Amino acid sequence: MRIKETEKNGVVILTLSGKMMLDAKSAGLHDYVKQLIDQGKTKVVMDMGKITWFGSTGLGALLASYTSLKDNDGDLKVARATRKIRSVFMFTQIIKVLENYDTVDEAIAAF
Amino acid sequence: MNDNKEKIRIKINSFDELELARESIIKFCRKHCTNDDDVDIIEMAILEASHNAIRYGSKRKNKSLCELKLIFDNQSIKAIVRNYGKAFEVFEKDSFSIEQDFLQYKNGGLGIPLIKSLMDSVEYSRKPNDMNELIIVKNLIVNQ
């Protein structure tokens, strides 16, 4: 999995691409977010439109990131989640805490 | 929907081979499911189970790292995933909540809860010679 970081209106956008499975980069997503928190950046959008494979490691990294951001008065929004990822959100009830937005701009506007 | 029962067996020895097997899994699901959501859900659950079987399995002589059997029986798709290695926990409960379960996991262990959330039935059994067998079933919506 690859992570590309940009920023807009005080919100960090992490564009994720590739396989969000059992690799160090997927597991390291939470560490990446913790570094953002250390820098005082606590509003994060994850653009998941280019994720080709989503598994429990990705799910864990996403939830751990959400929890860390919330614990630091921040928030995580998800944008452009694929149909498969949206299915996982629905079946695991994650949709209750992590809402998906159709575009990155919509996710940014939701803060 | 196809009325014939069908089985396929796939032997997988690496993550690269799982990538190739993914196409066969999708093709099998598309042939027997009437909607794309079922295809997605079954594919993800099978890939998760197979991925973990490869990751945690140990190689045995003349055996593949992960053996996957897919069975369509007109009403459901069943996947049997076998590997050799340490036994694992499958949790007694069948349903998981976001607050009580998913947000509490800090260091992995989400594989089985994810599979249980996606599928209708998950059964684990420990077989002789350190074989693990996971049977996951998705009941299909059959058009009347």
Taking CA–CA distances from B18, the nearest residue in chain A reads A53
Angstrom CA distances, B142 to A63, B69, B73, B107, stand at 35, 22, 12, 39
Q: Which CATH number do you get for residue A73?
A: 3.30.750.24
Sheet with B76-84: list strands edge to edge: B6-12, B66-72, B76-84, B131-139, B121-127
Contact assignment for B47 to A57 by CB distance below 8 Å: no
Contact assignment for A22 to B117 by CB distance below 8 Å: no
Please count the other Cβ atoms lying within 10 Å of the Cβ belonging to residue B88.
16
Nearest to residue A107, comparing CAs of A62, A52, A48?
Answer: A48
Could you give the percent of chain A with pLDDT greater than 70? 95
Nearest to residue A56, comparing CAs of A82, A26, A28?
Answer: A26
Residue B144 covered by a domain: no
CB contact at 8 A, B66 and B51: no
CB contacts, 8 Å: A90 with chain B? none
CB contact at 8 A, A43 and A75: yes
For B30-76, the pLDDT digits (tens) are 999 988 889 999 999 999 999 999 988 888 888 889 999 999 998 99
Q: How many structural domains are present in chain B? A: 1
Among partner residues B40, B48, B103, which is closest to A67 by beta-carbon distance? B103
| Mean pLDDT, rounded, for A48-71 | 90
A vs B, Cβ pairs < 8 A, gives: 66
Q: How many structural domains are present in chain A? A: 1
Residue A23 has a pLDDT of 59
Among partner residues A64, A88, A94, which is closest to B106 by beta-carbon distance? A64
How many residues does the structure list for chain A? 111
Give A21's pLDDT tier (boundaries 50, 70, 90). Answer: confident
Residue type, B111: G
Domain extent for A36: 2-109
Rounded to two decimals, the pTM is 0.86
Domain extent for B135: 6-139
The C-alpha angle A46, A38, A79, rounded to 5 degrees, equals: 10
Q: Among A74-78, A93-97, B11-15, which is the least confidently predicted range? A: A93-97
Rounded Cα distance, B47 and B15, in Å: 10
Rounded Cα distance, A74 and A36, in Å: 11
Q: Which CATH number do you get for residue B45?
A: 3.30.565.10
Rounded Cα distance, B100 and B120, in Å: 20
Contact assignment for A97 to B47 by CB distance below 8 Å: no
User: ipTM score here?
Assistant: 0.81
CB contact at 8 A, B76 and B8: no
Contact assignment for B102 to A84 by CB distance below 8 Å: no
* Residue A45, beta-bridge partner list: A13, A77
Residue B91 covered by a domain: yes
